[in-house]
Structure 1
Amino acid sequence: MIDRDRLAHLHERELASFASRNPKSAAAYAAATHLFGKVPMTWMNKKAGGFPLYLAGARGNRVTDIDGHEYIDFALGDTGAMAGHSPQAVVDAIGRRIYEQGGLTTMLPTEDAEWVGAELTRRFGVDRWSFSLTATDANRWAIRLVRALTDRPKILFHSYCYHGSVDESLIVVGPDGEGMSRPGNVGAPVDVTQTSRVAEFNDLEGLERQLAHEDVAAVLIEPALTNIGIVLPDPGYHEAVRELTRKYGTLLIIDETHTFSAGPGGATKAWGLDPDIVVIGKAIGGGIPSGAYGLSAEIADRVLGRTDLDLVDMGGVGGTLAGSPLSVAAMRATLEHVLTDDAFDGMIATATLFTEGMQAILDELELPWAINQLGARAEYRFVKPYPRTGTEAHEAADEGIEDFLHLYLANRGILLTPFHNMALMSPDTSAADVEAHLAVFQSAVRELLNR
C-alpha cells in the first residue's frame, strides 16, 4: 500500500523540518569530538533525524530539548523511566540520602534493602533477592549461578530476545533451524553456539528438541518478546515451557525487565508463572541505575550450601556499587510510592485507550498493520496478523516507514522509543496525551497514503 517514492519525499520534508527546528541540538552534535560515536553511549545514535535531540530537562512524561521544544514522551528511556521522569518520591529519597544521611556507596547494607527484597517477593513470588546496577549484570550473575548448580554449560534463549548485552543471548535461529550468531554481534568471545541454544518463541517442538541434548543449565526468557515488537505467548505456552524444563532437569529464569509493564508483579504474577529465578532492572529504580535477581528458596539454599562457591570475593557474582544506599533508596521509593498496584491500574487503562485508538485508525484506513499490548505498553508492527515468533517480527520490520513516523511525530512534539514503535505509559500519561499521539499518527499515515 505504500508508495515508496512518496515515502522518500515526505521523509526528506520531515528531515528538513527537523534540522530547521533543532539548530542547537545539531550544533551540539557537530561539536562532540571527544565522544565515541559522538554520543555518551552509542545507542543514542539510533536517530531518524540525522542527529539526536539534546536534553534540557524532563519531568513526568514530558521532555524538553535544548532548542526549547517540549515533547510528550512515550519512550520513557526505553522502560528505564517507566515511573516517569524524576518522580517526586524518588527525588525526595535521593535527596535524603545525599543531603541528610550521606553515604552514596559504602559496601554496607541498609535497612531499605530488606524492605525492597520483601516487596519484590510480594510482587514476583521468589524468596531471596540480590541487587545489581543493571538487568544485564543480574542476568550475567544468574547465568553463573545456574551453571554452577547444574554443571551444564549452555543457556537457552528465544530468537531475537532481549537480555541486555549478555554475550550468550546474542543467538538466533538460522535457516537450518539451528542456532547462529545474531547479525551485528560485536566481538563475541567464542562462537555463541558453544555457550547457548535457541528456539523460536511459541515453538514448543523446537524448544524440546534443544533441551533434549541435556546440556542446558537454564532457559532464560522474556515472558513476551519486547525488543522486536511485542510478541505474545500462545495460550498454554508458558505452562508447557515449565513442564519441559522440569522434564529435562533445566532451570527457568524469567527476565521481567521490559515485561514489568504487564503489572506490579510483571507477567510472572499477571500470568501465574513459576520461575526458579526472576531478573528485573531499569524501571524499579525510578531512573537511578538499579537491577535485581530473585531466587526461589530452594535455589538460594542450594547455592549457599555450596562451600566451593566464592560469593563474597572473586566468584564473579556482584559488583562494588551494586546494592548501594543510593540505588536501594531509589528502588524503595519507586516501588513504595510510584509504581504501585494502583498506579499500574491507571497505566494499563491508558495503554488500552492507546491500543484501541490505534486499532481504530488501522481499521479505518484498512492498513495491514497490527498492534499488541502488554499491560502498560503497546507496539505496532507493519504486518498483519501480528507475528508469533521473533524471526517473523524481525522480518516484518520496515526501517523506512519507521523512521518517517518517528520523525513526523517528533516534529510535532511526540517521542516514541527509537529502537522500535513502542509506546509506554507512565503514571503521568493522560488520555489527552494518547489522543494527541493518535491525531498526529493518523495525520502521518493519511499523508503517507495520500488520503
Structure 2
Amino acid sequence: MIAGIDPIRLEALRATEAAAFAQAHPKSAAALARDQGHYLDGVPLHWMKDWPMPHLPVVESAKGARITDIDGNGLHDFCLGDTGSMFGHSPPAVARAIKAQAGRGLTYMLPSQAGLEAGRLLTATFGAFQWQIATTATDANRFALRVARAVTGRPKVLVFHGCYHGTVDDAMVCLSDGATANRPGLLGQVADLSLVAVAVEFNDLAAVEVALARGDVAAILTEPVMTNSCMVLPAPGFHQGLRDLATKYGALLIIDETHTISSGLGGYTRVHGLQPDIFVVGKCVAGGMPTAVWGLNTATAARYHQANAARASGHSGMGTTLSANPMQFACLQATLSQVMTPQAYAHMETLAETLQQGLAAAITARGLPWHTIRVGARVEFICAPGPLLNGTEAAAAHVPQVESAVHVALLNRGCLIAPFHNMMLISPATKPSQVKALIRAFAEVLEALT
C-alpha cells in the first residue's frame, strides 16, 4: 500500500486520467508542440515542468477564481498562481489602477502620489515599520539579510530545515546528518553555504539557542508557518521563544509572510501579535503585480541609518532599477485600500473552513491515514498522519505518486490546485459552489482510489 492506496488502483487511475486529459486538451498540445522549442526545456520558467499533467494547458484568460484554457476548458482555480493571485485574477480595483497608470508612465525612479499613499496603507495594514519596495520576496529577503548583517556585524542567518524564502542563496541549506549543508540538487552553487547560514529544525527552540549562542548569527529568518512542503504549524510558544532568544543573543528576527498572508488581514504577524524586527511580504500584496515589501521596526531602522552613515560611498548591493515603479504603487494602493479588506478575509476564512471540513470528511469516509490543515485561506490535504512537527517530518509526508495522480484527476474534474504540494487557496472571488465542486471532485477521486 502507498499512503493507504492500492498501487494497482493508483496506476489504473493515473492511466485513465492521463488519457482523459489528453483528449480534453488537443489545442494546448498542438500549441506547445509548435512553439515550446523556443524555450529552455520547453517552458518560460523551469518550475512549470513541475505540474503533474501530461502536458501544460495553455491559458486563454483568467478572471476571479476561474481559468479558461484555449481548448475551452473552465477551471475552478484554487492554485491562484501559488499565492500570487490570492485575491483573485485581475481584481477590478487593480485592473482599473493598471489602466489609469498605463498612460502616465511605467517607470521613472521617482515617487508618485500613489506611492506616498501606499506607505501609509502598508503601516495601517501590517504595523509600524519603515518600508522599502522590491519586485519579489526573494529580493526583499536578500535585502533584509544585508541590513541584518550590517547592523550586527555578524555573518550568518539561521533558517529552518525545509524553509521557503524564495531563491535566496543563504536559505538554500538543509540538515544533513545533523549538520548544515547545501541543499541537494542546488544548481550551480559553488560556495559552501554553511559559512553564511545555519539550519535547525522548526519548533526546536533548544537547537535555536545552541546556534545563537555561538554569537555569529545576524538574524533568524522564518515563516510563521512552514509552507513549502507539507504545512507545519508552530508549536505553542514557539514564536515567543524565537523573539526572546533573538533578543537575548543580539540577533534580529525576520518574519517572511509571503505565503502566510493567507492568515488574515496583516498576515500571521498581525493576527497573532508577533514582534519581528524586519517584516517581509510579497506575491499577492499588489494584487498580482510583481511586488514585495520589507520594513524595519523603529529600533532596527535607527541601527540601519547608523550603519549606512558609516559606510563608504558606493554600491550598497540593495535595490533593482525597476523596483518601486509607479505601476507597482498604483496596484499596491488599490490592493491595500480596496481588495485586502476585513470583509474579503472573512469570506475567504469561511469558505476555507468549509473546504477543510469537506476534504477531511472525504478522507475519513475512505479510512485513509491522511489529514488536513488550514492557515486562514490556505488549506492542504496531506497523505500522511499528522500533525507534523518539522521540516524532516514534512518532507517524509510527501507521497508524489499519489499526489500527482490526485492533482490530474481533480483537474479533469474542473479543479486546479497547486503543483508543488497539495495546497489550495480561497480568494475573495471564490464562490461557495466552487468549494462544493472541489469537495465533490476530491471525494470522487478518493472513491476511485479506494
Which TM bucket (shorter chain)? over 0.9
Compute the displacement of 1:123 (Å). 2.4
Match for residue 445 of structure 2? 444
String of CA shifts for 1:293-318, please: whole Å, max 9, x gaps.
0100111122123313379x611111
String of CA shifts for 1:88-136, please: whole Å, max 9, x gaps.
100100111013xx11100001122232222222222232000001000
Match for residue 9 of structure 2? 6
Tell me whether 273-282 or 354-363 shows the greater mean CA deviation. 354-363
Compute the displacement of 1:347 (Å). 0.6
Match for residue 46 of structure 1? 50
> Residue 68 in 1 paired to residue 94 in 2?
no
Instruction: Give the letter aligned to residue 10 of structure 1.
Output: L
Whole-angstrom distance in 1 between the partners of 2:312 and 2:138: 21
Instruction: Give the letter aligned to residue 69 of structure 2.
Output: D
The answer to whether the 8 Å contact 2:205/2:238 transfers is yes
Question: What SS does the aligned partner of 1:305 have?
Answer: helix
Q: CA RMSD in A?
A: 1.2
String of CA shifts for 1:363-419, please: whole Å, max 9, x gaps.
222211011100011111111122111110101101111111100011111000011
Compute the displacement of 1:29 (Å). 2.0
The answer to whether the 8 Å contact 2:363/2:446 transfers is no
String of CA shifts for 1:41-98, please: whole Å, max 9, x gaps.
1111112122111110000000001111000000000000011001110010011101
The answer to whether the 8 Å contact 2:182/2:192 transfers is yes
Partner residue of 2:147 out of 145, 150, 153: 145
The answer to whether the 8 Å contact 1:279/1:292 transfers is yes
Question: What SS does the aligned partner of 2:229 have?
Answer: coil
Partner residue of 2:90 out of 80, 83, 86: 86
Q: TM-score, normalised by structure 2?
A: 0.97
Partner residue of 2:133 out of 119, 122, 131: 131
Equivalences for 1:317-396 in 2 at 5 Å?
317-396=318-397
Q: TM-score, normalised by structure 1?
A: 0.97
String of CA shifts for 1:147-189, please: whole Å, max 9, x gaps.
11111101010111110000011111222x2212222211224
Unpaired runs of 5+ residues, structure 1, are none
Match for residue 123 of structure 2? 121
Work out the percentage of aligned pairs sharing the same amino acid: 43
Which 4+ residue blocks in structure 1 deviate beyond 4 angstroms? none
Whole-angstrom distance in 2 between the partners of 1:47 and 1:28: 17
Match for residue 199 of structure 1? 200
Compute the displacement of 1:360 (Å). 1.4
Unpaired runs of 5+ residues, structure 2, are none
> Residue 24 in 1 paired to residue 8 in 2?
no
Question: What SS does the aligned partner of 2:111 have?
Answer: coil
The answer to whether the 8 Å contact 1:155/1:217 transfers is yes
Equivalences for 1:168-207 in 2 at 5 Å?
168-175=170-177, 177-207=178-208
> Residue 15 in 1 paired to residue 2 in 2?
no
Match for residue 232 of structure 1? 233
Whole-angstrom distance in 2 between the partners of 1:246 and 1:120: 25
